[in-house]
Amino acid sequence: MRAGKQNARSMTRGVLSILGLTIGLSIRHLGKLLTLSVLLKAPIFAAGVILGFLQQPKTFVVVGVIYGLLAGPLLAGSGIFIVSSQVSQTVEALVGAVEAASRRHWQFLLLWLIGIVILLACAGPGLLVGALGPTSALPGLLPVPAARTVAEVQPLLYLCGAVAAFWVFSVYAPAVPALFLEGLDAWTALRRGRELSRGHRWRITGVVLGLLAIIFLLYLAFAPVARAVSAIDDEVNRRLLFVVLTFLRGGASFAVVSAGWVSLYEHLVSYQMLVARESDDDASA
């Protein structure tokens, strides 16, 4: 019992330490990460405005998907490189981060695809059945006896799917910074993520939930500003301020995610090095 309490306290301290480091890194690199977020998101925003004016929503969907595949890896990788970099000059840091991230572009897309396949295989059935809707909707999708059985265990299936999703993400999360910072290919990065996360998956889940909570609090903090902007009578100024608010809110969330990735990765690597050092000391003794 005492050992269990000590492990729980150790895990809690580890999660809080990582989240504290995340907040510190987010604040330290906020300017560069906001700039990067605006530069990479501005083109698709401009395309949305133009295609919306031309009433071409389907074209915008296609353009958005293509641009997301091109800019998404650059945004994720550049954010990780900026947070882990010691370069203080904004322009130099941004250029170096984008160049470094571009070298792992297709490997990140492959890693992302592998992660989706694994997630669907592990969590898809439970999440799908759990999200089918209320019991009254099930008889139309399944035979009545099967629908009744599924309805009885629907919350459990949904819970199992959610737990499986978090478990998959606990393996996947360290793989992303490892791919960029260690220059790995997708399969090696996935194995590296599994290696780093072994024995720490509950801690990683706690960190992920903590990051989601921080992002939620950020959105709550921006809510009064959004209400004030929505009350502005001038439509041009209101839309312009909404654009600025959207970029700020998205950039702040991006800073938290980037810093969280790096903080988690550095924590896991440091722990692995500490364990290896202690093993070497024991062997030499």
Read out DSSP for 45-90? HHHHHHHHHTT-HHHHHHHHHHHHHHHHHHHHHHHHHHHH-----H
User: Is 92 a residue whose pLDDT tops 90?
Assistant: no
Instruction: Give the range of the structural domain holding residue 46, as residue numbers without chain letter.
Output: 2-280
- 29 lies in some domain: yes
Top mean-pLDDT range of 117-131, 146-160, 197-211:
197-211
- 285 lies in some domain: no
Token pair of 15, please? 């999660």
pLDDT of residue 149: 58
Q: How many residues make up the chain in this entry?
A: 285
Across the chain, how many H-helices and E-strands are there? 9, 0
pLDDT of residue 88: 73
Query: Angle at Cα 180 formed by Cα 174 and Cα 269, nearest 5°?
Result: 40
- 111 lies in some domain: yes
pLDDT of residue 29: 92
- Which residue has better confidence, 125 or 170? 170
- 230 lies in some domain: yes
User: Is 202 a residue whose pLDDT tops 80?
Assistant: yes
Under a CB-based contact definition with an 8 Å cutoff, are residues 274 and 203 in contact? no
Confidence of residue 246 (pLDDT cuts 50, 70, 90): confident
- 275 lies in some domain: yes
Percent of the chain with pLDDT over 90: 21
Cα dist from 265 to 2, 83, 183, 272, whole Å: 29, 12, 14, 11
> For 196-200, what is the mean pLDDT?
87
In a 10 Å sphere around its CB, with 0-12 CB exposed, 13-18 middle and 19+ buried, how is residue 237 labelled? exposed
User: Is 63 a residue whose pLDDT tops 80?
Assistant: no
Confidence of residue 253 (pLDDT cuts 50, 70, 90): very high
- The answer for residues whose C-beta is within 8 angstroms of residue 21's C-beta and 6 or more apart is 259, 263, 266, 267
User: Is 258 a residue whose pLDDT tops 90?
Assistant: yes
Under a CB-based contact definition with an 8 Å cutoff, are residues 181 and 265 in contact? yes
Q: On the CB side of 74, how many CA atoms lie within 13 Å of its CA?
A: 17
Number of domains in the chain: 1
- 263 lies in some domain: yes
Top mean-pLDDT range of 101-105, 127-131, 144-148:
101-105
- 201 lies in some domain: yes
- 97 lies in some domain: yes
User: Is 179 a residue whose pLDDT tops 70?
Assistant: yes
User: Is 278 a residue whose pLDDT tops 80?
Assistant: no
pLDDT of residue 188: 93
Top mean-pLDDT range of 4-13, 151-160, 170-179, 180-189:
180-189
Least confident of 152-166, 181-195, 206-220: 152-166
> For 192-203, what is the mean pLDDT?
87
Work out the mean pLDDT of the chain and round it to a whole number. Answer: 79
Query: Angle at Cα 252 formed by Cα 107 and Cα 247, nearest 5°?
Result: 90
Percent of the chain with pLDDT over 70: 75
